[in-house]
Amino acid sequence: MRSTKTVKFVDPTPNDSRVVLNVGGMRFETQRATLKKLPATRLSKLTPQLSYYDPVLNEYFFDRNPGVFSQILNYYRTGQLHYPTNVCGPLFEDELSYWGIQREEVEPCCWMTYTKHRSTQETLQTLDSLELDTVRSTSDDILRKFGWEDDLHLLTSGKLKTHQRIRSIIWQIFEEPRSSKASKVIALVSIFFILLSITTFVIRTMTIFEIIDYDFVDVYVANNRTELALIHHIDRADNIAGFNTVEWICNSWFIFEITLRFIVAPSKKAFLFSILNWIDFLGTFLFFLTYVLYDVYRYDGHYASLDLLSTIRVARMFKLINMHPRLRVITTAITYSSSLLSLTIYFCILSILIAGATLYYVERLSNPSESQLISVIDGIWLALTTITTIGYGDTVPKSLFGMIFGAITTIIGVLIIDLPMPIINEIFDNFNRHLLARQQLPKQRRRTTPAAIPHKIQPLMPSNRHRHHHQQ
């Protein structure tokens, strides 16, 4: 009778001392007691009933990153979790989440390297919100911005209504200057009128373009009548009429543009809360206000405060920010540096107050007769011009100790102003580098489909009847 051998499968028990882990094709061996050091983690709950246990090879297979797992297993052995420098931060976070380990367990020596990717993700999210690389919005983007996803006519016919299509087209022409030839033309026209308005506002203040107003008065000397004399009235100086014509043309375009943009805006609330729109509106409103005041009602006086407010039309240059992505990156970097800038201003004010009071009392104690600092206000003014490195020279310390303290104040001012600048520059460089990287990436990339969950591997055990037959 031919003898046969019976294959015996050994089922591991929780009391086995050694465990074999196959992670991404790389085998790791460790003690089961080592995996029990971290309760409530995936490796601390290994049992043969799990789907990733292979009874033939007597090992647990995990289709995960083996490079990261070496650090995970080292954490079980030593109790110290270090960050692998050759792995991207989000990948390491995903691996920690899979193995059931908290990210706060990373050692302090690796924490800055580990969290660096979070600032990168925040930067990318900010760039996504700015839509700097969006040349033309897609149909889905337009439906989402205008809130037309659930429009009944769109759902039934698959098309937008005529007025909706016209509204979206006009919105793209005025708000996306790189989306089409028509939008580029509108952008160039808008830039032309902005530059023309600002140029007119600047050069009209030159004296060569002023119409001088003179009055003839009688001058009497010793009760004798003399010839008529000319008196120049500065307050009643006027400009040539051509400037008013140019201003009317420019502001007519501005009022047409802002009105049309308001009508087709997807969100009227967001439009009204935009600072650039308020600058455009106030610049146009102040032009019409000064026209009504001076030309319609013929007011002969002069409102210096009104003329000062009229300078807001120069701020229309900020509208050019939407024309180029780099300009928006600069403003975004400044916005993100607002906390640092406010802290710098706080320390500047604190230093000015302390240095101003100290300079006043040093000058007063050293040589009060020659001191130019009459009060603490004069000391604060001297400290302000010193810390900001302006140095008008109208007020200076006269005593030796005052000069020494003034030199120290200058050094402190340079440190206060210059130290935050590299941080602000780094923030801008971070945004700029990621913007350049995003522009070089393909617009669409291949995505993997979800993997199927493997079922429990059943051992090929011979049946009882077959085993009994061979034993006979």
Same fold, 18-128 and 336-421: no
Q: How far apart are CA 358 and CA 347, in angstroms?
A: 16
pLDDT in tens, 185-205: 998 999 899 999 888 888 887
Write out the CATH class of domain 336-421: mainly alpha
pLDDT at 9 over 60: no
Beta bridge partners of 28: 21
Q: What would the mean pLDDT of 442-461 be, rounded to a whole number? A: 52
Q: How far apart are CA 435 and CA 111, in angstroms?
A: 26
pLDDT at 422 over 70: yes
Q: What residue segments make up the domains of the chain, in order of their start?
A: 18-128, 139-175, 181-323, 336-421
Highest mean pLDDT among 205-209, 278-282, 287-291, 322-326: 278-282
Highest mean pLDDT among 9-13, 171-175, 299-303: 171-175
Cα–Cα nearest to 322, from 187, 202, 429: 187
- Better-predicted residue by pLDDT, 457 or 218: 218
Q: What percent of the chain has pLDDT over 90?
A: 13
pTM for the whole structure: 0.60
Least confident of 214-218, 258-262, 380-384, 436-440: 214-218
Fold of 18-128: Potassium Channel Kv1.1; Chain A (3.30.710)
Two tokens, residue 45: 């709950």
Q: What would the mean pLDDT of 8-16 be, rounded to a whole number? A: 48
In the prediction, which pLDDT does 211 show?
Answer: 63
Q: How far apart are CA 400 and CA 56, in angstroms?
A: 91
Mean pLDDT of the chain: 78
pLDDT in tens, 62-104: 999 888 898 899 999 998 888 887 788 888 888 888 999 988 8
Print burial letters for 25-61: b (CB count within 10 Å at least 16), e (below 16): eeebebebebbeebeebbbbebeeeeebbebeebbbb
First to last CA, the chain: 9
Two tokens, residue 353: 């107050």
Least confident of 97-106, 221-230, 432-441: 221-230
With cut-offs at 50, 70 and 90, classify the pLDDT of residue 275. confident
